[in-house]
Amino acid sequence: MNKRNILLVTIALFSINLSAQVNYPSVEKGLSFKSKDEKVKMGFSFRVQSLASYQNDLEGNSQDMKAMVRRMRLKSKGYIYSPKFEYKLELALSNRDQGNAKDAAQVSAGSKIVLDAVLKYHLGKKQQIWFGQTKLPGNRERVISSMALQFVDRSNVNSKFNIDRDFGVQYRLKQDIGNMPLKIAAAITTGEGRNITANNELSGMAYTGRVEFYPFGSFTKKGDYFSADLMREEKGKLAIAATYSYNQNTTRSAGQLGRFVYANDTTDAYSLNDMSTLFIDAIYKYNGLSIMAEYANRTLSKDISGFSSGTGYVGQVGYLLKNNYEVSGRYTSVDLAKGLGPTSNVTEYTIGLSKYIVGHKLKVQSDVAYIDDASETLANYRIRFQIELGI
């Protein structure tokens, strides 16, 4: 029996044993299964981003053209035995998501397919304990799903400073102070990023905390964590947040991301550094208007070649028209010091156009960017086009 038939038989047997009730209420909620005794609930979804991009300098001497499946994801979430035991799984199937050249030795030379594998235990209606691998409570732009972005992709600030995913324990709390909602998140993790199998003996741990305030009340349908004002908030809604992460004795150039840094150009001893990262972000939505801004700052305890530090700022604004077209603009500035070298300054100006056919589940997006890199003689321009499909 070939692998395909084995997989089909396994799925069939699982479905029979589960005695599940199949439910597909809408595109937004996806496909779900629930056992007749209601002790197991499993939701399934997928999404695909098909991207075409073109970049060149202003004199046409540095052409870069790509077309690819930028992201392809499979997701499952639900609960086991009781709604108190919630889980989330997410797999990355595109080659762009699985590259491991920067950390091949530390991930057993395997593809990094697993994005999320986390158990969420509900202590009550307002508190949860998470265990496993998932996103850290970092900057808003990173925590917003790549499916729910206002532009074709996240900004250069996120690319250079975000703390991504890690393995460990997280605590989540939702609380009201008078009429103002408050969210608090804290995490203790390995500090080396996702899917690491190497010995963590020399490295320290990462400690992350985030607090969010909602002065005008909660957003409609969790609108603080998707871009564009698709809900057309009838009253202005604002979220203000700050995150601080301390990664002790990290061995990677950007903490949970980047290349592993070795001492004296050898592969038998790591360089160790303490890395502190601060994020301050805010998002505002009202009647189709959305505004988001973030500030990032990373510092190091030691000036060691291979590690990066610096600051970044991104601000973006969009307006959703009544025909579900959205026009948007974004300004991005990054000052990054790599190791002991000079600081690199990169500024981007981006204009975007999106058509939301079924919200973020089915949309067409394009953007044009002007990129001014102080280390380059000429500025660059970039054109991107992407179709997103998911359930």
Check if the beta carbon of residue 193 is closer than 8 Å to that of residue 180: no
**Tens-of-pLDDT digits for all 391 residues of the chain?**
454 544 444 444 445 444 456 555 555 666 888 888 888 999 989 999 999 999 999 998 989 999 999 999 999 999 999 999 999 999 999 988 886 666 777 887 778 899 999 999 999 889 999 999 999 999 999 999 999 999 999 999 999 999 999 999 999 999 999 999 999 999 999 999 999 888 876 678 999 999 999 999 999 999 999 999 999 999 999 999 999 999 999 999 999 999 888 887 656 688 899 999 999 999 999 999 999 999 999 999 998 888 999 999 999 999 999 999 999 999 999 999 876 666 789 999 999 999 999 999 999 999 999 999 998 889 999 999 999 999 8
- Cα separation, 202 vs 133, in Å, equals 21
- Cα separation, 52 vs 88, in Å, equals 30
116: exposed, middle or buried (C-beta count within 10 Å: 0-12, 13-18, 19+)?
buried
Check if the beta carbon of residue 35 is closer than 8 Å to that of residue 23: no
Task: Name the nearest CA neighbour of 141 among 151, 131, 133.
Answer: 151
- Every domain of the chain and the residues it spans: 1-38, 39-390
> In one letter, which amino acid is 244?
Y
How high is the pLDDT of residue 9?
Answer: 43
How high is the pLDDT of residue 18?
Answer: 46
How high is the pLDDT of residue 162?
Answer: 96
- Cα separation, 172 vs 134, in Å, equals 13
Convert the pLDDT of each residue in 325-365 to its tens digit.
Answer: 999 999 999 999 876 666 789 999 999 999 999 999 999 99
Check if the beta carbon of residue 27 is closer than 8 Å to that of residue 391: yes
> In one letter, which amino acid is 314?
V
Convert the pLDDT of each residue in 44-83 to its tens digit.
Answer: 899 999 999 999 999 989 899 999 999 999 999 999 999 9
User: DSSP class of residue 144?
Assistant: S
Token reading at 342: 């000079």
Task: Write the DSSP assignment of 166-191 as a string of letters.
Answer: EEEEEEEEEEEETTEEEEEEEEEE-S
How high is the pLDDT of residue 264?
Answer: 72
Is the Cα torsion angle 36, 122, 192, 50 positive or negative in sign? positive
> Facing residues of 40 across strands?
80
The correct answer on CATH 3.40.710.10 for the domain covering 39-390 is no
- Cα separation, 251 vs 359, in Å, equals 40
